[in-house]
Amino acid sequence: IQFLVIHNDASLEHAILLVDLKNVFSMQLPNMPKEYIVKLVMDPRHRSLLLLRPRPGVKTTKQPSESALEYEVVGGITWRPFYAQRFGEVAFCAVSSSDQVKGYGTRLMNRLKEILKDEAKENPAHTITHLLTYADNNAVGYFSKQGFSKDILLERERWYGFIKDYDGGTLMDCCLDNRIPYTDFPS
C-alpha cells in the first residue's frame, strides 16, 4: 500500500491514475453525477491523494507516477485548496467496497492532514487551518470519527460563496493544528 498526491498536470500516468480514482468515486457515490466527478477530479485546481497497491499478480518495476498501469487505486480523497481563505474543501472521499472498514479511510484522512501541515511548513502562504466537506448523510459517522463536526468554526466569510451547496449533504468542519501528529503510527 502506498500514498501518492497528484493533480491533472498533463502527465499521462497521472491522468490514468485520476481516471481510476474517478471510477472508484463513481462506484461508491452512485448519486453523484459522473460528469461532475470527472470535472472536479480532472480540474487542475483540485488535488488528489491516492491509496495504491500493485495490481494482483503484477510485480511492479517502477513507481506509480512512472508506470500507472502496474497499480490499482484502492481509494482516495480529492480536495481543493483555497489558500487565500486558508481552508480546503474535501470534494470526494471513498474507498473501494471490498476494502472498506479496514482502516484505509482513516489513514487517508490522517495522511491528508499531514500533507497539508507539511505544505504549510514549506510555504506559509499555503497554510490551511480548516477542512470543510459536504458529507453524504451516511458518511457523517465516518467524518465525525476523523475530527469533523457539524459546528462550523470557520468564519462564514472565509468559506461562504467559495464552496457549492449540495442538496442532501451536511456541511462539516475540521480544524487543523500543526502541533498535532496525525500519522504517529505506521502508515
CB of 142 to ligand ACO, least distance (A): 4
Q: Is 17 in the site for ligand ACO (CB under 6 A)?
A: no
Q: Is 26 in the site for ligand ACO (CB under 6 A)?
A: no
Q: Is 90 in the site for ligand ACO (CB under 6 A)?
A: yes
Q: Is 39 in the site for ligand ACO (CB under 6 A)?
A: no
What is the spatial distance between Cα 92 and Cα 37, in angstroms, rounded to a whole number? 8
Residues marked active site are found at: 89
Which of 29, 42, 152, 171 forms a contact with ligand ACO (CB under 6 A)?
29
- Closer to ligand ACO by Cβ: residue 11 or 170: 170
- Closer to ligand ACO by Cβ: residue 114 or 136: 136
- Sheet containing 2-6: order of strands: 2-6, 47-54, 71-82, 87-95, 130-136, 169-175
What is the spatial distance between Cα 79 and Cα 177, in angstroms, rounded to a whole number? 18
Q: Is 93 in the site for ligand ACO (CB under 6 A)?
A: yes
Residue at shortest CB range from ligand ACO? 105
Cell of 140: 457523517
Give the amino acid at 100. Q
Which of 64, 119, 133, 173 forms a contact with ligand ACO (CB under 6 A)?
133
What is the spatial distance between Cα 4 and Cα 115, in angstroms, rounded to a whole number? 10
Site mask, ligand ACO, residues 60-79, x = CB under 6 A?
--------------------
How many residues bind ligand ACO, per CB under 6 A? 23
Cell of 54: 500493485
* Phi and psi torsions of 67, nearest 5°: -150, 70
Nearest to 6 by CA among 50, 37, 69, 71: 50
Cβ(146)–Cβ(172) below 8 Å:
no
- Which residues sit at the interface with ligand ACO, rule CB under 6 A? 28-29, 90, 92-95, 100-106, 133-136, 138-139, 141-142, 145
